[in-house]
Structure 1
């Protein structure tokens, strides 16, 4: 189903993307994909990247951008295509979604990113390495280093006296008061419960008096410790918000109790272990367990390991961690984690075959996300480890979960589990890329879907220059690192530019990617020159809390895209923002670059249940796909607020009728995108455009769409 926009006269259109888009059908498939992106599009999830867009959406965008009007729509989505003469550019490459989808359609692809971690991970994603070679290297690591790691993740089964593997270790931050009291930062003493506690109410509780671990209901407000008989309310821990209350009733601000130097200390209080039968058991941390940890810490002091030495830069996304005295990236790990990760990394760097070595380095880096002191426990019945980037800031975890690095047969987020679930799955996707086709007309996690093969295997030549890419007679990709405001591409050489720009002000990628850079740079700086620097930031990054600075840097990249784009080509990108100044910044960047928005298509973009979304009061789940042409080639329509509000209402009704849930912020995304269509010819000042968008937002808030149509 499509709602054709009317941005300019029909004869001006050169691509299908300018005239129509199957936004409802694509949104339905996209929502299904978003439930398990790492399974449904594994190619883009071998390593963490932020705001990775949905592959089904970008397949549809690319297909329409490379097709003439009347083609490249829903009826062509599951067909195999071969755009061998076309070249697609993504100046903000990220995880490589545009490149992968372009290659699946038979086009050549160019991707550039200013961030070295992005350039490295996309190179690894698109490099086919035989599975048997990866398994051979993994087996060698399992023989060489896995026993050393497993040695430090074991405990004694109280029932048999035998040593059994630890899956997870539970820690809590501990602060000292001026009166000499030790206070653990528990918000509640229930530390493990099922993801669906009403169905499975049994939970694990730690006693605040003797630290015994025992079982009771997740919601009990009156418990008696099985070890010491202490009576307490498990729902009320000493930490609440930014304050902590001692057992003697004294209250303090947590920030006032933080140590003067270094992060807070931690106490190990419980373990989850795995019996040979497959049974998982909870145990209190005992002296033998703490002695084993101390043994790992002692060995760490004697080993020469490739550990991170970089400092944590001040920044929007790092200041909260720095406020807890996390000033170095190695502070994000305890001694046992540093030892075991260092042993593993050292063994990987000794692998002789470069392709295999770099694939496993990428996997190692991905493993870091689930093995640090900023991880937490999600509970039983789900993936147990909540990774450190579940928030868009580096938020110190008061009750961190220590994973077991190498892992067990039942682990998640370990080197072993990610080898199977991320790396090998991505390599198989290269050989057999698939699309999701819904089995039913309704949506939701259990709507049901099947896999459809609609592309040839992804096996590009990885070119090292534009000339090499252009000379290639088959599938080819050029992966660049640098500022996309200056690209090594000739004028008017690219058929389409398709991208997802960085966030305006919420997530500063390089501040977060430094976490990975600190481990990767020493191992890769001799092979990849872009790793030979102090951190992953670079001049010209398109991220700033000041909208005018953001617009300036983005405009420079858009201007360069205009230079390399053919006159008949389109630049299409996804964007959403809840505030008018973000949209005004996008408008200013396009206007400065000599580009006009000629069409806007709202599509499903993100899972509303994701952690940052659930925390938002009015979460956004839609992206606007903004389709742009060089200004001289289009005749924009006149701005009309009532018309925009009416269009917003029509789109909203259609999407809701198709099963999608929209918020008021989603409606603003639709309205703001359509406001940009008519503003292209006016060259409005930033403030005037912002005022116009604020008026639209107020009108939507007052639910004036229907009245506006009648008034016009």
Structure 2
């Protein structure tokens, strides 16, 4: 899959590079002498809750902060001697400071480097082994007209509601939004079937900013008769029902296991095959005409509707698009197979399969223009994460928790099925996902810039356009040669290689690719092999770096971000640099992952180390002056945890014997 996304015509990588053969020579680089790491770290923190529409169209799991990439691109392309004021002036400017330069990212992932480079006026090229990455980046670099996409989105929703509104029966005064359910599992010891639940709480109104305003402080359920109890105090500890008293905080699932109410035996999800167990709908959350939400018990019509949906899916499944393929047994993360789920189709309810299948079929049959068709397909692909069996619920906020909120196939004890056809509420409805793609064509982006005089970040609205540079993105194994490896036409390379202590993002993206029939990658992901992880990872990364060296034009250095508190990871990076005959000319610490949320724990790294490197030929050895202690001191008052102090030390140890400066 290769595409000249600017012109909309197919183009070989070598032909693209040949077209850039007249670009000017590169020179020395600012990033080897100065970089505003501390100020940029504060800027990144301020941008943490700012949504850039270009990146909101579809989830990607490993984005570096756009502010970091914009700064790295500028500092790599600018010559030494630029003052702090001049640098930040250019950072805040909408001018095309990289016009005439070619920027390359061989691990483009979600495409942030390429988008930021395009906004700076560069010609951009990127590749990845993952077809989903290519789809997402194509959309980011050449977004469709939002007005046209909204028009098609309206037609799609009208069709879906005409054909499938019966799936979500609506009362005159209320429309279903969420269906709450729990698994009913069979004890592996006594074979009794019982409900699996962590506690009795369904929703709560803690009066938090941004949470749903409710008529009651707490809604809980009885685990015997399933009656809902609407409580006016969130301090209640027990409920009385069915002649018994139940502690609200008690459940049958705790410490990672189901405890059978009959015999007390503890069983894991793997033993219970919880992911394919029968589920009981215990409550339906509705939106009312007055704007308030309410919870009700499911009725006979709801049960009949579920049965009808299952029957209709069996009739229609061979005529509708659906997720293809088995979930690989050889995985770095055994989930969701450990839940008993072995195929991608099993991750969806019949209702969800009907809606998603009809949506994809309508798009492919009715949207002729390729760009608009791909944009609508991307919207429905993003909708998958909020319309599957593994969605949970943020109890205190009243929001659905999408799959991959914690970068993995988590199995919530209380699962929530969304009504994707809801028109006014709901996280991840068809309407909301179409709108996210439609908004990505905006030029106006609210982000922060650095005020040198005030010494702090201040809000700013950019009006980006994409300049005259060309764009190429395609499927490619980073460790394989390009169409013509002898052509060397790269001015700037800024990238974020896979991490040694990796999360296998290809296993996550496969969830989306299954709907497109694109389960195969363009090559093996760059991951350490178990028999010799340092050697295997370093060799593969070194091949990729060598190819960039062979394509380089001029004398600009490369810059990449990396972090790990594992010494083997940094040993592998050093091996890769040696294999590519590269010297390290600078290191910079930047706090880029302070927003990790669920992922944060004492072992997580929140700081990247920017590694700047260039070919050893033309450099002279020099002593490194960096130390972890000096970095920690320089970055105050920003916090550096113990994992990152190890990260810093290992990075400096790696660079020590390879440190040099350009002649």
TM over 0.5: yes
* Deviation of the 1:397 alpha carbon: 2.8
Q: Distance in 2 between matches of 1:483 and 1:257?
A: 38
**Where in structure 2 are the equivalents of 1:674-689 lying within 5 Å?**
674-680=652-658
* Deviation of the 1:347 alpha carbon: 1.1
Partner of 1:527: none
Q: Distance in 2 between matches of 1:82 and 1:59?
A: 11
Partner of 2:379: 363
The alpha-carbon distance between structure 1 residues 194 and 488, as it changes in their structure 2 partners (threshold 3 A), is farther
Partner of 1:560: 547
Query: Could you say what secondary structure the match of 1:77 adopts?
Result: helix
* Deviation of the 1:332 alpha carbon: 0.7
Say what the alpha-carbon RMSD is for the aligned residues: 2.7
- 1:220 maps onto 2:231 in alignment: no
- 1:137 maps onto 2:115 in alignment: no
* Deviation of the 1:35 alpha carbon: 2.6
The alpha-carbon distance between structure 1 residues 377 and 195, as it changes in their structure 2 partners (threshold 3 A), is farther
- 1:520 maps onto 2:505 in alignment: no
Partner of 2:17: none
Which of residues 245, 252, 257 in structure 2 aligns to 1:231?
245
**What is the aligned length?**
617
* Deviation of the 1:74 alpha carbon: 2.8
* Deviation of the 1:15 alpha carbon: 0.2
Bigger Cα displacement from structure 2, 15-24 vs 140-149 = 140-149
Query: Could you say what secondary structure the match of 1:134 adopts?
Result: helix
The alpha-carbon distance between structure 1 residues 438 and 369, as it changes in their structure 2 partners (threshold 3 A), is farther
Contact 1:392 1:506 in 2 (8 A): no
- 1:185 maps onto 2:199 in alignment: no
Q: Distance in 1 between matches of 2:453 and 2:194?
A: 54
Contact 2:393 2:415 in 1 (8 A): yes
Partner of 1:393: 408
* Deviation of the 1:264 alpha carbon: 2.0
Query: Could you say what secondary structure the match of 2:620 adopts?
Result: coil
The alpha-carbon distance between structure 1 residues 218 and 413, as it changes in their structure 2 partners (threshold 3 A), is farther
Query: Could you say what secondary structure the match of 2:440 adopts?
Result: helix
Q: Distance in 2 between matches of 1:222 and 1:51?
A: 43
Contact 2:476 2:523 in 1 (8 A): no
> 5+ residue gaps in structure 2?
1-25
Partner of 2:181: 171
**Where in structure 2 are the equivalents of 1:71-220 lying within 5 Å?**
71=82, 73-79=87-93, 80-156=95-171, 162=172, 164-177=174-187, 178-194=189-205, 202-216=217-231, 217-218=233-234, 220=236
* Deviation of the 1:482 alpha carbon: 1.0
The alpha-carbon distance between structure 1 residues 669 and 75, as it changes in their structure 2 partners (threshold 3 A), is farther
**Where in structure 2 are the equivalents of 1:242-257 lying within 5 Å?**
242-255=256-269, 257=271
> 5+ residue gaps in structure 1?
1-11, 157-161, 460-473, 522-530, 683-712
Partner of 1:291: 304
The alpha-carbon distance between structure 1 residues 619 and 494, as it changes in their structure 2 partners (threshold 3 A), is same
- 1:66 maps onto 2:74 in alignment: no
Query: Could you say what secondary structure the match of 1:145 adopts?
Result: helix
- 1:378 maps onto 2:390 in alignment: no
Contact 1:195 1:378 in 2 (8 A): no
Q: Distance in 2 between matches of 1:635 and 1:218?
A: 68
Partner of 2:469: 475
Q: Distance in 2 between matches of 1:654 and 1:13?
A: 29
Which of residues 541, 556, 559 in structure 2 aligns to 1:569?
556
The alpha-carbon distance between structure 1 residues 194 and 353, as it changes in their structure 2 partners (threshold 3 A), is same
- 1:487 maps onto 2:482 in alignment: yes
The alpha-carbon distance between structure 1 residues 76 and 400, as it changes in their structure 2 partners (threshold 3 A), is same
Contact 1:82 1:105 in 2 (8 A): yes
Q: Distance in 2 between matches of 1:236 and 1:308?
A: 37
**Where in structure 2 are the equivalents of 1:211-360 lying within 5 Å?**
211-216=226-231, 217-218=233-234, 220-225=236-241, 228=242, 230-255=244-269, 257-259=271-273, 263-303=276-316, 304-350=319-365, 351-360=367-376
Partner of 1:610: 597
Bigger Cα displacement from structure 2, 497-506 vs 665-674 = 665-674
- 1:458 maps onto 2:438 in alignment: no
Q: Alpha-carbon deviations, 1:193-241, whole Å to 9, x = none?
A: 347679999222111111112233445332224xx45310111100112
Q: Distance in 1 between matches of 2:454 and 2:376?
A: 40
Which of residues 478, 503, 506 in structure 2 aligns to 1:507?
503
Which of residues 650, 653, 658 in structure 1 aligns to 2:633?
653
* Deviation of the 1:511 alpha carbon: 1.4
* Deviation of the 1:586 alpha carbon: 1.2
Q: Alpha-carbon deviations, 1:451-489, whole Å to 9, x = none?
A: 332x64126xxxxxxxxxxxxxx3211112111232246
Q: Distance in 1 between matches of 2:65 and 2:332?
A: 24
- 1:544 maps onto 2:528 in alignment: yes
Q: Distance in 1 between matches of 2:75 and 2:548?
A: 19
Query: Could you say what secondary structure the match of 2:635 adopts?
Result: helix
Q: Alpha-carbon deviations, 1:129-174, whole Å to 9, x = none?
A: 2222112111211221133343312354xxxxx3632111111122
Q: Distance in 2 between matches of 1:436 and 1:147?
A: 44
Which of residues 659, 662, 665 in structure 1 aligns to 2:643?
665
Q: Alpha-carbon deviations, 1:290-328, whole Å to 9, x = none?
A: 111111111111112111121111344441211111110
* Deviation of the 1:49 alpha carbon: 1.2
Give the TM-score taking structure 2 as reference length: 0.87
Contact 1:154 1:163 in 2 (8 A): no
Q: Which has the higher contact order (CA 8 A, sep 6+)?
A: 2
Q: Distance in 2 between matches of 1:661 and 1:25?
A: 14
Partner of 2:20: none
Query: Could you say what secondary structure the match of 1:479 adopts?
Result: strand
Partner of 2:59: 48
Give the TM-score taking structure 1 as reference length: 0.81
The alpha-carbon distance between structure 1 residues 440 and 378, as it changes in their structure 2 partners (threshold 3 A), is farther
Contact 1:15 1:68 in 2 (8 A): yes
